[in-house]
């Protein structure tokens, strides 16, 4: 699938703009708190569904969005449950997992049916009736199916995969970044100053601007370092026997890479427990998110690294940039900061009020 970043950026910018407009339109007396997940989650679905299906959800009450979010949530919950882990690591206990595996199967079937009936088939119909104006991600995947390179199951697996890997991960990245900015008003002010100086007061950030905003990039990197959204990456498997650091790793082992520890090991980072974006403009200025330094692998590295990095980084930059430029992000009333278990609630005021 060819996903040109620039082709889709207008959509992400429009989605971020509508979040800003909605929050500005809220009555601060009646609703003094913004539950940011309620705004950013539909935005992230729209960002991804625009690319994949050229489709967006009008509101978080759209029944299709509600069902999709519920089923994706169930899948995510099952993948993070205790049962998932013990079955993978202690195979002899697998017979006790029958009930759990049945639920997994049912959720997988319901999700697959939803993706097929409500998205893939509808898109096929639009294309066959020549009502689709522009090609989107799924069109390329369906072309590969027509050529015999993929079968229907493969197509649905790709849709499933993007739903599981692309939406919540980026949302978590946004939420942690916002929480750290709320807890570090000095850093928030410095970032707003950069936006004002480089773009001009009130000029809204667009994707190409990100390259001219080194402090914004540093804030995002620092947040991904301290709050790595996928801390153990995705499990890998070595096909052949390997020796690493004096350890023997038998062929076909499940290998988990602790990317969070690589990025937070005090032997390799100066005061890693501190949220200090300056490190990425000073002593760690050469460290990028693309895996050019093995201490920092938020998207993995190599052949199986995250293909969504080209989408996630601009989405993060546009969203964080617009929120900080338009609002002062504050902890909820009665709190002096955001405790990490409630990172999705904050309060806004227009900046400098
Ligand atoms: C901040 C946001 C994101 C983070 C931190 C992230 C992180 C990751 C990580 C760590 C992996 C596994 C890499 C490995 O094990 O070596 C991965 C895989 C993947 N990501 Fe992302 N991701 C993000 C956003 C996205 C987006 C927006 C998409 C697509 C819309 C996406 C699609 C995928 C896919 C399809 C895979 C599986 C690749 C494979 O199995 O070969 N990700 N991601």
For a substitution probing ligand 1, which of 232, 301, 308, 315 has the most ligand atoms within 8 Å of its CB? Answer: 308
Query: Regarding predicted confidence, which is higher, 338 or 312?
Result: 312
Q: What is the pLDDT of residue 341?
A: 57
pLDDT, mean of residues 217-228:
98
**Which is the closest atom of ligand 1 to the Cα of 304?**
41
Single out the residue of 129, 164, 287, 318 nearest to residue 218, CA to CA.
Answer: 287
Is 311's C-beta closer than 6 angstroms to any atom of ligand 1? yes
Q: What is the pLDDT of residue 5?
A: 54
**Which is the closest atom of ligand 1 to the Cα of 52?**
30
The closest residue, in CA terms, to atom 41 on ligand 1 is 304
- d(CA 293, CA 97) in angstroms, rounded, equals 39
Domain ranges of the chain: 9-52+165-348, 55-133
- d(CA 26, CA 29) in angstroms, rounded, equals 9
pLDDT at 4 over 80: no
Q: What is the pLDDT of residue 1?
A: 38
**β-strand pairing of 345-349 with 328-330:** antiparallel
Note the CATH number of domain 9-52+165-348.
1.10.630.10
Quick one: pLDDT band at residue 30, thresholds 50, 70, 90? confident
| Dihedral pair phi/psi, residue 347, rounded to 5° | -120, 145
Q: What is the pLDDT of residue 350?
A: 46
pLDDT, mean of residues 34-44:
94
**β-strand pairing of 247-249 with 328-330:** unpaired
| Listed ranges 32-36, 83-87, 109-113; the one with the highest mean pLDDT | 109-113
Cα(92) to ligand 1 centroid in Å equals 31
pLDDT, mean of residues 313-328:
97
Q: Which residues does the annotation place in the binding site for heme?
A: 306
The closest residue, in CA terms, to atom 2 on ligand 1 is 170
185-199 helix and 168-183 helix, angle to the nearest 10 degrees: 110
- Token code pair at residue 227: 């709050």
Alpha helices in 184-213 (DSSP H): 185-199
For a substitution probing ligand 1, which of 51, 160, 165 has the most ligand atoms within 8 Å of its CB? Answer: 165
pTM of the model: 0.92
- What would the pLDDT profile of 147-159 be if each residue is shown by its tens digit? 999 999 999 999 9
The mean pLDDT of the chain is 91
Is 234's C-beta closer than 6 angstroms to any atom of ligand 1? yes
**β-strand pairing of 247-249 with 253-255:** unpaired
């Amino acid at each position: 699938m060819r996903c040109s970043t620039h082709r889709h950026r207008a959509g992400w910018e429009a989605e971020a703009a509508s979040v800003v407009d909605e929050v500005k339109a809220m009555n601060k007396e009646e609703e003094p708190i913004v539950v940011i997940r309620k705004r950013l989650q539909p935005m992230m679905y729209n960002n991804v569904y625009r690319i994949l299906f050229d489709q967006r959800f009008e509101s978080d009450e759209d029944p299709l969005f509600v069902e999709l979010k519920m089923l994706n949530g169930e899948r995510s919950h099952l993948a993070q449950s205790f049962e998932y882990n013990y079955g993978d690591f202690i195979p002899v206990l697998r017979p006790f997992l029958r009930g759990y595996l049945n639920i997994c199967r049912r959720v997988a079937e319901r999700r697959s049916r939803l993706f097929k009936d409500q998205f893939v088939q509808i898109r096929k119909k639009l294309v066959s009736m020549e009502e689709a104006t522009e090609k989107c991600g799924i069109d390329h995947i369906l072309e590969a199916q027509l050529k015999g390179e993929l079968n229907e199951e493969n197509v649905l697996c790709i849709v499933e995969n993007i739903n599981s890997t692309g939406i919540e991960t980026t949302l978590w990245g946004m939420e942690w970044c916002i929480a750290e900015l709320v807890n570090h008003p000095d850093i928030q002010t410095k970032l707003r100053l950069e936006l004002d100086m480089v773009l001009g007061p009130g000029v809204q950030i667009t994707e190409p601007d990100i390259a001219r905003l080194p402090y914004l990039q540093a804030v995002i990197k620092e947040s991904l370092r301290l709050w790595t959204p996928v801390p153990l990456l995705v499990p890998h498997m070595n096909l052949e026997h390997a020796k690493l650091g004096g350890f023997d790793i038998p062929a076909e082992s499940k290998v988990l890479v602790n990317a969070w520890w690589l990025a937070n090991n005090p032997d390799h980072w100066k005061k890693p427990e501190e949220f200090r974006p300056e490190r990425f403009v000073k002593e760690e200025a050469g460290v990028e998110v693309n895996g050019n330094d093995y201490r920092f692998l938020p998207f993995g590295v190599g052949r199986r690294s995250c293909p969504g990095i080209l989408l996630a980084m601009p989405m993060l930059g546009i969203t964080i940039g617009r929120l900080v430029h338009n609002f002062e992000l504050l902890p909820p009333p009665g709190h002096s900061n955001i405790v990490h278990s409630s990172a999705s609630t904050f309060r806004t005021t227009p900046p400098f009020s």
